[in-house]
Amino acid sequence: MKKAIVVGSGAGGATMAKELQGPFEVTVIEAGREFRPCSRDIGGVAKWKKFGLLFDEREISLLFPAMRILKTKDMVLVRGRGHGGTTTISAGNAVELDGRFKALGIDLDEEFEAIRREIPISVDHEKHWRPVTRRLFEICRGLGLSPRPIPKMGDYARCRHCGRCVLGCPSGVKWDSRRYLDSALANGATLSSGSLVTRLVIENGTARGVEFRSGGRKKFLSADLVLLAAGGLGTPLILERSGIPCEPRLFVDPVLCVAAEWTGTGLDREVSMPFVVEKEGFIISPYFDYLSFFFNRKWSYPPGNIMSLMIKLADRSEGSITSRGVRKILYPEDKAKLEEGVALCRNILSRLGIPEDKTFLGTINAGHPGGMVPLTDRESVSFHHSALPENVYVTDASLFPYSPGKPPILTIIAMAKRVGRICRERFA
């Protein structure tokens, strides 16, 4: 049986492992280890901030090892590290982002339908919204903003509304890619945790396997097929070290929250991103931003007394990550869209009774990197970038040809399913 290596266990990697185990002998190589939800008391952590012990967002890994931070001049970049990748610290949103893919001749309808058969997707969380969430929804409707509940992946009829979606759902309500990973392992796949892939080993234009570090030692694992799903920041680094250039088209989907004190709002105990308002170039959704709460001095109120609206931006696809660091800034058009979003959020909050001068901003952070191995119409059938060896595929958001400005997990899973089918047909 042919051997396949899957690098990463997030949305793309776990999907590939599930799709290929059986026709292939699959080994998943994951840089992180077993995921554990954040169990810290939020009020207790707030005291650390009060005494000046929390002053740099990179300290979050001391509180929550699954969340890792990179910083640029303009923003904080967030990524997950551990079994399940970033899906474990996501809001669990199920959004189909195939509009621009269809413009390239890529139709993922069959894959989305398969996902709906495998993963429970619903808006059941709407039944349990807090009063302030319903009031915000009606305000947005009254302003003609056409809000709609966001479909979630998981069994939200059991949701306890603890507000910890992005800190790792403690009750197992939210679906994350560990479900697919467990399925692959039960079918015979192998998992190597705490192993960081550094580069592809390429001979005569073909990948013979990967080099990785584990337990402080350099190791090599051979394979007939390599699937890179290390994320929009991890995959480009592996390719660079392998002598394969990526395109400087990094996007990150920046997030900025507009907040205010609002006694008893309880947004910190609401499901993350319960509904969405879509505008040209950005979306708005209620969202409690833990990074801002932990590290931004303006967020000095008790968590239950902070009202917050998120702006998620489709940023300019220009930037890069290399062994020298991350190059990513907010361009004038990005800043203009953020300013438009801030004005709209303040208008919404004013209808709630919060004066504009009582609002404050959060820290700009971003957790949807991708775009450095973008698909074009030439790859609409093969899903294989021309710069890669024939037996190497990318199956994460690096394939996105644009910044979606919306949650990408469902679409990454759909793309990985398509790549899985292609690999079975070509190599198995």
pLDDT of residue 243: 97
Domain definitions of the chain by residue range: 3-34+176-245+371-427, 42-87+121-170+250-366
- What is the distance between the alpha carbons of residues 241 and 236, in angstroms, rounded to a whole number? 9
- What is the distance between the alpha carbons of residues 381 and 289, in angstroms, rounded to a whole number? 39
- What is the distance between the alpha carbons of residues 263 and 303, in angstroms, rounded to a whole number? 10
pLDDT of residue 210: 98
A 10 A CB-CB count for 156 gives: 23
Q: Are strands 254-261 and 365-366 parallel, antiparallel or unpaired?
A: antiparallel
Adjacent-strand bridge partners of 195: 214
Closest CA to 77 of 68, 86, 65, 64: 68
DSSP state of 403: -
User: Max CA-CA distance within the chain?
Assistant: 67
| Coil vs helix vs strand at 292 | helix
Residue 116: C-alpha distances to residues 86, 151, 154 (Å): 20, 11, 11
A 10 A CB-CB count for 333 gives: 11
pLDDT of residue 338: 98
Q: Are strands 254-261 and 306-313 parallel, antiparallel or unpaired?
A: antiparallel
Closest CA to 124 of 102, 160, 152: 152
pLDDT of residue 51: 72
pLDDT of residue 428: 85
**Dihedral sign for Cα atoms in the order 372, 375, 378, 383:** positive
Do residues 185 and 18 make contact, with C-beta atoms less than 8 angstroms apart? no
pLDDT tens string, the chain, 428 residues long: the values are 999 999 999 999 999 999 999 999 999 999 999 999 998 888 777 777 777 778 789 999 988 999 999 999 999 999 999 999 999 999 999 999 877 788 889 999 999 999 999 999 999 999 999 999 999 999 999 999 999 999 999 999 889 889 999 999 999 999 999 999 999 999 999 999 999 999 999 999 999 999 999 999 999 999 999 999 999 999 999 999 999 999 999 999 999 999 999 999 999 999 999 999 999 999 999 999 999 999 999 999 999 999 999 999 999 999 999 999 999 999 999 999 999 999 999 999 999 999 999 999 999 999 999 999 999 999 999 999 999 999 999 999 999 999 999 999 999 999 999 999 999 999 98
Give the CATH number of domain 3-34+176-245+371-427: 3.50.50.60
Give first-to-last CA distance, the chain, whole Å.
Answer: 8
